Structure 1
């Protein structure tokens, strides 16, 4: 068991560690994490296939081959990203898995075989008990490793120290594998066939339907885990810290579902339909109005669904001689679920439609035992039951319509909650008919928020790329066009010609960037060279002055098309000669000659996800190199859930930069949004000139300081989380 626990702990400690290593090169979009998960699932499938293949040999030969593989994999330690530049013509969705696979493939492959292989070695002794509880222990180790990373490893250790510690753990694992092999070294030599005979089970053939069920019961929770990540971080609660929570709950579901004691698994399976009806009704919500309660409900939904489906998987488990085949099939199902969510869905859908689809699939697959057995009561004839079912379905449609109207009219939350509870009650009443249960769930999804999500799709308002989901809307009443990335407004343009060149939202005349760009001709000169990281709608383009040279950096070609295709006209109307550089700004800026910019604006958030690699000391050094000696750096740090000012203050101090802060609370919030900008410069006179430019819009000295600056090697957002915002409080 120690070998299984250590191997699983290391395996899932490696996942977030490598994702953290990749931040400076890949950024923080949710799909980067999903691509990483796809790589992990593919490598896990390979490891399980390898463990299954080893079963044809005697245990001694298995031990010799596996120990040799572990020692070969150790040659790439300590873990680090390989130097693989982006490949021309290869999309991000393909290059990211290639980079991660080349970096950690050998060690991840070798370690991933631990769980099924050690269980097979355990079961090689005819006197040993059933090995399935060891699979629960394996997932407990995985869960511990995953949670240990954000809570302990990332805050306390640098990336380099994490890699060295992981390498030491790998050495311990090799030692434990050797000891496990020694414990079975004198066992009778067994091939796969003799192993079956020794267990005395005969190995009855497994039919194709059972294998297909293994596959789909594994695929749906795996896909739902990734779709929950996308749904939470894109449309409800855009915070990367949440990326590990769905994976942790997914792993925890295996611990419950595969435990020898069945009480917990049966209890969760019993109540899972209630969570599917209630929390699942929010699965099509896309208005970004989530709080910690909706986040909690979404996470509990994932845990209940995964536990229910994995419990059914446990009930379909084969005899121990088919153990590695069972795990190989379930791993293949997990990889298929990941493939659907991480690669197929972003190409096929304009929104995270995979999330409600997978919840509906779960409702079709999960064990469904009626909580109220009224249909089987004495005196209830089949005809009467059918009439009652028809009336209940009419009631569900009526409640769904009322809920939809209440949502549209903005009625009080209590009425919405009551209608939702009544609709859930109808779902409970019809649980004896699976099709009716699924229909009630679908009605609840549409009424709770799905109607507006569906309309946005039918109207063509949304565009999806590898980096996120963008919603483009025209507000006829306010006469503006808006662009939102997930839950965050990224720009707005007036639709009437008289106001079309006005910079709105975070870029108004009293915002930090508005003040700085207005003062640039006075503090820098008339021919300033200005760079902007993050194009968005191109709002800043109309802050340009005659004689200035502008360069925009944008990582997503889809965002650039919003400007080049005329959906937003700032770029075309105000800076038609501006140079637009596609690619990660930090990497692209390293290619620029030194001192080629006078002003650099960093405004590159993916929804509310933190671009950690753009805020480290190494990133500041890149900016200082490309800026002239008297250059001005502007950082946009507006964020709902993370307090970034202390980080910027510590990094500025560590890099010899002075910093001013501008918090803008505009009076006209119909056109302008509250924002916070930080201005940094190595030259005091530049900031002094900026502070004197407008007395009615003051700058203040940035006093906040983190305990230590962020670096590529060591950074953690945990100390800077605004926990009160997660409960819906201001």
Structure 2
């Protein structure tokens, strides 16, 4: 008599815990590394590749072990888990970072030495535990992958919502170590259960013949259990893994670039992507089937906005994009689940799908920013999803596949021609009524002709081009848009206001007036009545004619026009593309006309300021936002200690904190209270006349000094209304060991 199958519950728990820990360690290590390595894209692209490589290596380890007897699998994996304990508690190795381009090679080495064995061991446990569950006579092991992704989702949201706001990094490291030891205990217990079950099964098999366990797979799968997996099957797994992975990343970029760049936005698409696996690989198929049925409709209706740009903070558009992402990911992952192999090939399946997911990530994270000047990977991936998502006729009377083959070809060709004409007409339609009629016609054709996938995909393309091509494509053709790993920059000619505008995502980062006589007028957040404008305009009175000024963050170079003869200015800018736009493109003239001899330092400001001599600047202005995102390592206690070192005792530190989504006053208030700084904030609301003629905008600038009495004296000379920092919301000061944006959200 064969022994009873092992219970599923302990395998679910182990899978959940391992995936939870995996999605905790990555942001934790990133937080540890940020102060030392800075925020340059070369650093974090290298880090992403290391994580992807370690994940693939973990799946490769599981694939290799699966060819061994269960006992050897258990011993080998427990040995790896035990070996990884030598790297606990996790932390960065003591290695001196190099300078220049060598940092690109240094980062992978640092991460591999610091956490490589730990991530490798934890990455392997999900497919390996499923393999053991199948070996233990359990039912279909694939739903354990749903538990794995549920654990990943829990780890993903727990870090920014719970762990980061409540725990210091040192506490996080030790708590993670406890979790890892719990995981080792769970894996050891499961390994022991599996080995004992295998021994009992072998004994039973030797005494009597018994049918092979089906492990809950379909009969067709059982018949092909020993069959070789073909290239077509592997290609299918890769594509069905790569497209949702890439679509998740492109949706994140599209949302942050052209809809709203709010904090923690990146976590929502990733969380929905992980949850899609939980639905698609679940035992119960009803939810997956229902979502798969509606996914093509959502993709056509809301994926049509994939080519639209603009940058308005539209929560409705963001929500619809996220719902569409989730539905499409469920549909494609359900196809992946339906194409799963017999359990004997389980680890091969997961290794190949991991390769597909990595390819989607590499395409969006590394290739697209170099190949495209806008987020064109997003509409491309929407079209790819349209080519893959399961289609079923809405009404049987419109099922055109019942027609004879020659008639099908004729009808398909006619429909393709009609869709092309309607899409072209939509691109050039000028009235709302005409646009609505054309949209309805295209949607009707798309809904009623799902029998022909080519027609559906062309309808999707026509809708995207009709709704977004005229606004998005021209800047690419004219050369007025450029992209880097930090985002998309567009230079716009605002003829209505006689200005040239630099837009980063959805935020204006510089405005130059083109009206004769006003070209060098400070605009936007840097107007003459802003906090920074008042201080820099009176710098000769405050600090003498030879004042030294440092500026963190360049934008279009607007602040340069406060430079006066005899002053020494230095700009710090992390993105070389911004330097080219502001200084070399010929579209902006603040630098060339006002400060042609200013020193330009390209790199992460915190790292570069570390090499600046003590007491260098009379004024240091920190304005290093990326759209509305905050470079946290520039707002910590350690960063302000650095600013204090390079600013003279009678000098001023100015920090720009205007933000649509976060109130930064509480964290600055906590920091200055703890560290003995004096601080005042200027809330500048320009007059209607200045807003119209000089394009001045609302701004918040904080002036700080670490020398008693200096701030009051300087601000009395500067003039304007300055207020104490708001203390109505409590906050902890940010440090390299603790920082969280969650309590600061408006």
TM-score (norm 2): 0.89
Choose the corresponding residue for 1:162, options 172, 185, 190. 172
Choose the corresponding residue for 1:677, options 682, 696, 701. 701
Following the alignment from structure 1 to structure 2, what is the Cα–Cα distance between the partners of residues 452 and 82? 49
Following the alignment from structure 2 to structure 1, what is the Cα–Cα distance between the partners of residues 374 and 660? 23
Cα separation, partners in 2 of 1:651 and 1:601, compared to 1, 3 Å: same
The 5 A counterparts of 1:225-236 are 225-236=248-259
Instruction: Look up the SS of the partner of 1:79 in the other structure.
Output: coil
Alignment of 1:661 with 2:681, yes or no, is: yes
Choose the corresponding residue for 2:332, options 304, 309, 313. 309
Following the alignment from structure 1 to structure 2, what is the Cα–Cα distance between the partners of residues 313 and 716? 37
Counterpart for residue 244 of structure 1: 267
Following the alignment from structure 1 to structure 2, what is the Cα–Cα distance between the partners of residues 631 and 644? 22
Counterpart for residue 296 of structure 2: 273
Counterpart for residue 563 of structure 2: 544
Q: Is the 8 A contact 2:500 2:514 kept in 1?
A: yes
Counterpart for residue 701 of structure 1: 724
Cα separation, partners in 2 of 1:533 and 1:718, compared to 1, 3 Å: same
Instruction: Look up the SS of the partner of 2:509 in the other structure.
Output: strand
Counterpart for residue 725 of structure 1: none
Alignment of 1:607 with 2:627, yes or no, is: yes
Counterpart for residue 120 of structure 1: 131
Choose the corresponding residue for 1:129, options 125, 128, 139. 139
Q: Is the 8 A contact 2:251 2:378 kept in 1?
A: yes
Choose the corresponding residue for 2:318, options 270, 273, 295. 295
Q: Is the 8 A contact 1:12 1:145 kept in 2?
A: yes
Instruction: Look up the SS of the partner of 1:437 in the other structure.
Output: helix
Instruction: Look up the SS of the partner of 2:340 in the other structure.
Output: coil
Following the alignment from structure 2 to structure 1, what is the Cα–Cα distance between the partners of residues 619 and 176? 42
Q: Is the 8 A contact 2:570 2:598 kept in 1?
A: yes
Q: Is the 8 A contact 1:24 1:612 kept in 2?
A: no
Cα separation, partners in 2 of 1:665 and 1:393, compared to 1, 3 Å: farther
Counterpart for residue 5 of structure 1: 16
CA root-mean-square deviation = 2.9
Deviation string for 1:525-578 (max 9, x for gaps)? 322111000111111111012221111111111111224424222222222222
Cα separation, partners in 2 of 1:716 and 1:459, compared to 1, 3 Å: same
Q: Is the 8 A contact 2:40 2:604 kept in 1?
A: no
Q: Is the 8 A contact 2:401 2:408 kept in 1?
A: no
Counterpart for residue 547 of structure 2: 528
Alignment of 1:110 with 2:121, yes or no, is: yes
Query: Residue 498 of structure 1: CA displacement?
Result: 3.0
Cα separation, partners in 2 of 1:489 and 1:93, compared to 1, 3 Å: farther
Cα separation, partners in 2 of 1:97 and 1:637, compared to 1, 3 Å: farther
Deviation string for 1:270-312 (max 9, x for gaps)? 0000111122111112210241111111111211111111100
Counterpart for residue 183 of structure 1: 193
Instruction: Look up the SS of the partner of 2:264 in the other structure.
Output: helix
Counterpart for residue 717 of structure 1: 741
Q: Is the 8 A contact 1:308 1:366 kept in 2?
A: yes
Cα separation, partners in 2 of 1:582 and 1:544, compared to 1, 3 Å: same
Deviation string for 1:236-260 (max 9, x for gaps)? 2112301111111111111111111
Counterpart for residue 71 of structure 1: 82
Following the alignment from structure 2 to structure 1, what is the Cα–Cα distance between the partners of residues 410 and 303? 27
Following the alignment from structure 2 to structure 1, what is the Cα–Cα distance between the partners of residues 580 and 138? 63
The more displaced of 560-569 and 595-604 is: 560-569
Instruction: Look up the SS of the partner of 2:86 in the other structure.
Output: helix
The 5 A counterparts of 1:257-406 are 257-376=280-399, 396=419, 400=423, 404=427
Following the alignment from structure 1 to structure 2, what is the Cα–Cα distance between the partners of residues 173 and 278? 44
Following the alignment from structure 2 to structure 1, what is the Cα–Cα distance between the partners of residues 315 and 546? 49
Following the alignment from structure 2 to structure 1, what is the Cα–Cα distance between the partners of residues 380 and 104? 22
Following the alignment from structure 1 to structure 2, what is the Cα–Cα distance between the partners of residues 425 and 74? 60
Following the alignment from structure 2 to structure 1, what is the Cα–Cα distance between the partners of residues 712 and 608? 30
The more displaced of 33-42 and 140-149 is: 33-42
Cα separation, partners in 2 of 1:285 and 1:19, compared to 1, 3 Å: farther
Cα separation, partners in 2 of 1:276 and 1:91, compared to 1, 3 Å: farther
Cα separation, partners in 2 of 1:26 and 1:504, compared to 1, 3 Å: farther
Following the alignment from structure 1 to structure 2, what is the Cα–Cα distance between the partners of residues 557 and 607? 16
Q: Is the 8 A contact 2:535 2:718 kept in 1?
A: no
Deviation string for 1:343-388 (max 9, x for gaps)? 1111111111111111110110111112233323999888887787
Q: Is the 8 A contact 2:260 2:311 kept in 1?
A: yes
TM-score (norm 1): 0.91
Cα separation, partners in 2 of 1:225 and 1:543, compared to 1, 3 Å: same
Q: Is the 8 A contact 1:27 1:612 kept in 2?
A: no
Deviation string for 1:507-530 (max 9, x for gaps)? 111111111111222222322111
Following the alignment from structure 2 to structure 1, what is the Cα–Cα distance between the partners of residues 104 and 447? 41
Following the alignment from structure 2 to structure 1, what is the Cα–Cα distance between the partners of residues 392 and 599? 62
Counterpart for residue 716 of structure 2: 692
Following the alignment from structure 2 to structure 1, what is the Cα–Cα distance between the partners of residues 684 and 632? 23
Q: Is the 8 A contact 2:398 2:448 kept in 1?
A: no
Following the alignment from structure 2 to structure 1, what is the Cα–Cα distance between the partners of residues 426 and 654? 46
Following the alignment from structure 1 to structure 2, what is the Cα–Cα distance between the partners of residues 434 and 463? 34
Counterpart for residue 140 of structure 1: 150
Choose the corresponding residue for 1:569, options 565, 568, 589. 589
Structure 1 stretches lacking a partner, 5+ long: 723-730
Alignment of 1:480 with 2:499, yes or no, is: yes
Cα separation, partners in 2 of 1:561 and 1:636, compared to 1, 3 Å: same
The more displaced of 361-370 and 99-108 is: 99-108
Deviation string for 1:108-161 (max 9, x for gaps)? 111010111011111113x32111111111111111111111221111111221
Q: Is the 8 A contact 1:257 1:314 kept in 2?
A: yes
Following the alignment from structure 1 to structure 2, what is the Cα–Cα distance between the partners of residues 85 and 415? 64
Q: Is the 8 A contact 1:620 1:655 kept in 2?
A: no
The 5 A counterparts of 1:10-25 are 10-25=21-36
Query: Residue 41 of structure 1: CA displacement?
Result: 2.8
The number of aligned residues is 713
Query: Residue 677 of structure 1: CA displacement?
Result: 0.9
Following the alignment from structure 1 to structure 2, what is the Cα–Cα distance between the partners of residues 290 and 98? 40
The more displaced of 702-711 and 365-374 is: 702-711
Following the alignment from structure 2 to structure 1, what is the Cα–Cα distance between the partners of residues 64 and 402? 58
Structure 2 stretches lacking a partner, 5+ long: 1-10, 215-221
The 5 A counterparts of 1:420-569 are 420=439, 423-495=442-514, 498-567=517-586, 568-569=588-589
Instruction: Look up the SS of the partner of 2:650 in the other structure.
Output: strand
Cα separation, partners in 2 of 1:399 and 1:691, compared to 1, 3 Å: farther
Cα separation, partners in 2 of 1:81 and 1:669, compared to 1, 3 Å: farther
Q: Is the 8 A contact 1:273 1:363 kept in 2?
A: yes
